[in-house]
Amino acid sequence: MDWSEAFAQRYQLDREWVRSAVGQARKIPAITQYVMPPATPSAKNWLAYRNRFIEPIRIQAGIRFWQTHEATLARAEQTYGVPAEIIVGIIGVETLYGKYTGNFRVIDALATLAFDFPAQHPRAAERQTYFSGELEQFLLLTQNHRWDPLGIKGSYAGAMGWPQFMPGSWAKFAVDFDGDGRIDLFNNTTDAIGSVANYFKAFNWQTGMPTHYPVQLDANQLNMDALMAPDILPTFSASSFMAKGAILEGAALAHTGPLALIELQNGGAPPSYVAGTENFYAITRYNWSSYYAMAVIELGQKIKAARQR
């Protein structure tokens, strides 16, 4: 209630409306477990992760989605410069084209993580502050769109709609792509497509740039510590990349922007590597995971190839 009073005052909202909405939120203990790192982390496995998303049901659904919304995807690509296959890949990985958008009341999810974030989490203070801000954004959205704050459902983290936007992302990046005067990411696929493209444009998507290139490692001059130090942040020019033992060929040699060495672990087998560009990094702004980014890229590529066949 203290939080509600301060929030209502800060945004000049009806204090009773805010108190009523927040007062009816319920803590969901399971969510506090979902956000915790696993007690005994298992080895990351790109092949196992990939197989969850690059599979026949999702590919077939993606083909149907692309066929149905071909004109909208083409317009989004033209407007924002983001390839249709990336947009199709995102929506496929996130919700299987709207099939799974979440069954938690968003206000419950966000209130649980804003007020009862597990203190034992290694980044508890930072994450709790983040979710407190997302709860604010959610309540502002419900005011602006005249939604019932108790009637909106989403993921256990509070992500919503076909593209699974958090409330803050909805406020910043969602667009009325069909021009009907309102933004709807729950039922309007045109708005969802345009909003995903706008999101990537906002995170500096470079039109025409590949997301990654093949890379080999030269054991004789490999400086793996230096290559892995920036993690997935593109840092190296092509020449400095190769000087540290990464071998590039073909179009990668002419790449003018920064690159990162992306490591995808394969359980007990040797890792896979690619050279990630700024566009690869842009995809990780949606979900901070190189495995996620590769799944989005490969799903989109598989669907595009299947359509061409």
Catalytic residues: 94
Q: Position of tokens 């990464």?
A: 246
Q: Where are the alpha helices (DSSP H) in the chain?
A: 2-11, 15-23, 29-34, 46-53, 56-68, 70-80, 84-95, 106-115, 124-145, 167-173, 189-202, 224-228, 238-243, 278-284, 290-308
SS3 243: helix
Report d(CA 121, CA 58) in Å as an integer.
33
Residue by residue, what is the 3-state secondary structure of 65-111? HHHHCHHHHHHHHHHHCCCHHHHHHHHHHHHCCCCCCCCEEHHHHHH
Report d(CA 68, CA 64) in Å as an integer.
6
Amino acid, single-letter form, for residue 185: L
Tokens (6 digits) for 300: 């989109």
Half-sphere exposure of 87 (CA within 13 A, CB side): 29
Tokens (6 digits) for 69: 């919304």
CB 153 within 8 A of CB 101: yes
Instruction: For helices 124-145 and 2-11, give the axis angle rounded to 10 degrees.
Output: 50
Tokens (6 digits) for 57: 């049901």
